[in-house]
Structures are given as structure tokens and as C-alpha cells.
Chains A and B, each alone.
Chain A
Amino acid sequence: MITEERSLTSPAAPLATPGLSARARALAGGSRLRLVALVVINLVGLLAFLWPFVLPVTPGVNENHANDGPVILAVLVICLGAVLFVELGRGGLGPKTIALLGVLGAAMVALRLPGFVAGFSAMFIVVLVAGNAFGPGFGFLLGAVGTFASGLFLGGLGPWLPFQMVAVGWVGMGAGLLPRTSWPVRICSLAVYGAIAGYLFGAIMNLWSWPFLTTGTAVDWDPTAGAATNLRHYLAFYAASSFAWDTFRAVGNAVLVLVLGRPLLGALDRAARRMRLEVSR
């Protein structure tokens, strides 16, 4: 009879707050090179979204290539999403992560029902708290998977989906990088982040359609103008179009975090503890 004591206790429970850099490094699987690569990929993706400002800066652009922007954006975003997925999935996600993604993704799908637009806003609370509880990698995956699933469920797979998936994924990822030193700090930072994310999300998604709108007024995208001029135009466009929606969403996010944050995060932390889940994934 062999009796050996094998200790298989997992590392500390997630409420012990590792620092930001440690968490970010854990996200990249411990390799600094991979972390740099991930950051670069994300920046490239962000730049792709910002192409209406970037492209005019490139000299020699003429009318014929004005339509290239969206194509470049589409290709880059899809590649970005794919690379991120592959990177995060390296070594296999594992049953625990998949099960959590499934259950939380189902919650996102369920929240979508009240309305195509209003429901979309409600989805955010899940991504915010789950990203905060389980880490930036998980937050990104959940944002993407949940958005995809809710699009499938409602029969709403549209051309905007890859961009939405990445943008919501970013919201989740950011939530995982917030400080967690104490409950008030955690909730407040998440609420503020939720509000900012609400606006940024709207602003970025609008960028996708803005260049197609030519009204002949000062809010149009002008491929021949410089970045600064276009930025001014865009802000005006944004103020006129989705600012109201996004305020609704930003305020909604913040309020939901303030009301639901503590109980939901508590439940998720307990689950993480019980599942012996490493926060980085």
C-alpha cells in the first residue's frame, strides 16, 4: 500500500489581488513576448477601427481608394479576432472555462430578449462583472462568444457582428484589468469604467458606418481632409447621432454596476473559488 501525501491545492483565491502587471502577464501565459504581441495586435485592431482618421493621413489617397477603408477594417478586425481567440485558447480552454462561458453566455443571450437595442445594452453588465471576476482573457472571450451567441439566437447575424464581438470583447477585457484592492474601489472603478465603456463602444461602432454617410454637411467624412478635421466632423456626427443612445447605455451600465455589482461579483468570486479557476483564463 502506497501512502503519499500529494498536495494539489491551487493558488490563492482570486480575491487576493495580484497587481495589474502580474495579471496581464498571466493573461499572456507568463511570457513577456506574448504579452507584447497581444498588446500590439490589439493596437493594430484599434487602429483599424480608426481608419477614417488614419487613412487620409496617408499621402496619395484618391477617390478610388476611399472604399478600401472598410475592407481593410473588416479584414484586420477579423484577423485580430481570430488571432486573439487562438492565443487565448492556446493549450485548450478546458471544461471549466467552457462551461462558464456557456452559462454566462446564456445569461447574455437571455438579457438580449427585451429588445434588440435596449437588450443589447443590458448584456454589458454580464461582461463587466465576469471580466472583473475572472480576468481579462476570460472577459474578452465572454464578450465575443456571448455576442455571437445572442446574434445566433435572435437570428440577427449581420455584417456588423465581427466588429461587435471584438468591441464587446474589449469591454470585458478592460474590466479584468481594473483594481480590486477593496470592495468600494472595485465597485466604483467598475462603475466608472462601465460608463466610459458605454460611450467608447458607441463611438467605435459608429466609426464603422460614418464614412458611408454623405450628407453634404460638416459632419461628413472627408477623405481629403486631415485627421484633425475629420475628428471634428466625427464628433459632430456622434453628438447628433448616437450620443443620446450611448448616454443611456453608459448611465445604465454604471447604475447596474452600482446596484448589482456587489452581489453578482460575490457570487462569481465564490464560483471561481469553488471551481479552483485560475483568474488569468
Chain B
Amino acid sequence: MHPAAWIVWATCAGLVAFTTTDPFYLGLVVAVSWFVYAAQRVPGPTERSFRVFAIAGLVTMAVRTALVFLGTVDAGSVAFAALEGARLATLLIVFGTFNAVTDPFGVVRLAPRRFHEPALAAALALSIAPRTISMVGRVREAQRLRGMHPSAWRALPTLAVPVLETGMEEAVTLAESMDSRGHGRGRRSRYRPDRWTLGAIVVVVASLIAAGVFLVAAFTGSPALHPSTFPLTWPEADPRLLATIGLLLVPAFLSRPSVDDEGQVR
């Protein structure tokens, strides 16, 4: 799916979570996020983002709740803190899904014309990083091969300098190559722009509706969104709002991203 559609989805889901502390709504957003993750995750290093963010979310929630014990402790304040924490956790989980379903280069490709060059720099950093990492290993080994085992402090310059200097030389080659191939010459065209499919459009519309409903509810000060903790009462679960959250589930029904033999996302 077009990366911009994912950004819209994630932003809207995030907004929905941001506007409420009702555990039913938050819980449903979490469930929706998980479904979308399960259906649309891209195999690869970003796949585990969901778990990482989920854990981060739980930790945040725990810390937030624990902070209450610095002050007055009663059922109400604990509940309040827990709900605040739950909201943050939900936000994080939405981002976890986003990371796991998008291809990093896709996000970079989206950059508007003005940002094309910094985006290219970011994409370059992504491509070059694995080589830099392996270079560090090879430099370390080269020191061993010379019979040198410097102490930790002395080792740092012997590690950092070759990696940096080699990187600088490669930057010259890269810059020459870009210059020779016409970089910065004029208006650019795009080889294979991401295409907007019907599914992506539906996702965008559905997400915007969901966010819109919740934003309106928030601005009109609807009490349904923030269950009262002083006194502690059972939170509401308006079926209409629950259904609206269901709109965020649309991406889960689109075709799965396929990965061809070379590990490339189609």
C-alpha cells in the first residue's frame, strides 16, 4: 500500500488514542493495531518493531502508574495514572504497527520535492550503514592481525579513524558519481512512483472519518471519552464510537504485501 496511506492511518489511529482515556476504546485500538500488524507486516528487520513498541508501551504504562506512589495513593489516583499510561502505550503500539508495515525506503521516497535531497541523504545513510557496521568488525580484526591489543581507550581512535577515513573516501567517489550522472540538473522525474490503489484510498478515507469523529467528540467535551476517576466509576463503551474505531481495521483486509525471491517488497 502506498506509504502515504500508512502515514495517514497511523496519524489518525494515534489521534484517536490521544483523545481518550477510556480503556475500552484504547483496548480496541490496540486490538485493531495488532490485527493490522499481523495482516500487513513486512518480513524483515522492522518486523519486530511491534514487539519492541508493545514492550515499551507496557513499561511506560507501568512507570506512569508507579509514579502515583510518590503522592496520594487511592483507587482513584491509581486508576487515573493507569489510564494515562494506557493512552501512551496505545500510541506507542500504533507506531509499532506503522514501523512493521512500512518499508523504510518507501517512507523516504515520499519526500516532497523540496526535501528530496535530505531524503536522499537519509536513504544513503540507510544503504551505507550495513557496510559501515561490517567495516568496524574488519578494522577490529585488522588490529588483532597486527598483534595489537590496545586497551579500550586506545582502541577507540584506532577503530574510529579508519572507518571514518574510508567513509570519507567513499563519499568522494559517491559525490563524483552523482555529479557525473547529472544530479541537480533540473526538474526530476520519477521512475516508479508509488501508485494509489483503491484499497489505499479507502483506508485513507476510513481513517480520516474515524479520527474526525473522535476529534469532534473531544472538542465538544464529550464525557464519554474520559471516564471519571474522582469518584471512580465504570467507564462507558458507546457502541457507535466502538464501531468508528472498527474503521481503522480496513488495512487488515487489503492484500498482503508480497515479497519476491530477492526479498523485495512488491
Measured CB to CB, the residues of A under 8 A from B are 64, 85-86, 89, 92-96, 98-110, 113, 141, 144-146, 148-150, 152-159, 212-217, 219, 256, 259-260, 263-264, 267-268, 270-271, 274-275
Contacts and interface: CB of A to CB of B under 8 A. Distances in A.
Contacts of A89: 114-115, 117-118
A107 B164 contact: yes
B147 interface: no
Interface string B108-136: 10000011011011111111110111001
11 contacts: A89-B114, A92-B117, A101-B121, A102-B125, A103-B167, A105-B122, A158-B53, A260-B156, A260-B157, A263-B160, A271-B168
Given A149-B129, A216-B68, A98 B108 contact: no
Given A159-B14, A267-B164, A103 B118 contact: no
Contacts of B172: 99, 271, 274-275
Contacts of B95: 157-159
Interface residues of B toward A: which range? Answer: 35 or more
Interface in B215-266: 221
Contacts of B157: 259-260, 263-264
Contact of B174 (A99, A213, A256): A99
Given A99-B171, A101-B121, A215-B81, 16 more contacts: A93-B117, A95-B179, A99-B124, A99-B178, A101-B118, A102-B123, A104-B167, A145-B122, A149-B125, A152-B122, A212-B84, A215-B70, A259-B157, A260-B160, A271-B165, A275-B171
A141 B124 CA distance: 14
A158 B92 contact: yes
B223 to A, nearest CB: 13
Interface stretch (B43-51, B195-203, B204-212): B43-51
A94 B171 CA distance: 12
Contacts of B14: 159
A92 B184 CA distance: 7
Contacts of A103: 124-125, 128, 132, 167-168, 170-171, 174
A-B pairs, top 3 by smallest CB distance, nearest first, are: A102-B124, A105-B125, A216-B71
Contacts of A85: 114-115, 118
Contact of A141 (B118, B164, B167, B171): B118
Contacts of B161: 263-264, 267
Nearest to B66: A215
B104 interface: yes
Nearest to B165: A267
Given A99-B178, A152-B104, A214-B84, A105 B71 contact: no
Contact of A106 (B48, B114, B131): B131
Contacts of A158: 53, 92, 95
B87 to A, nearest CB: 9
Nearest to B177: A95
Interface string B91-114: 110010011100010011000001
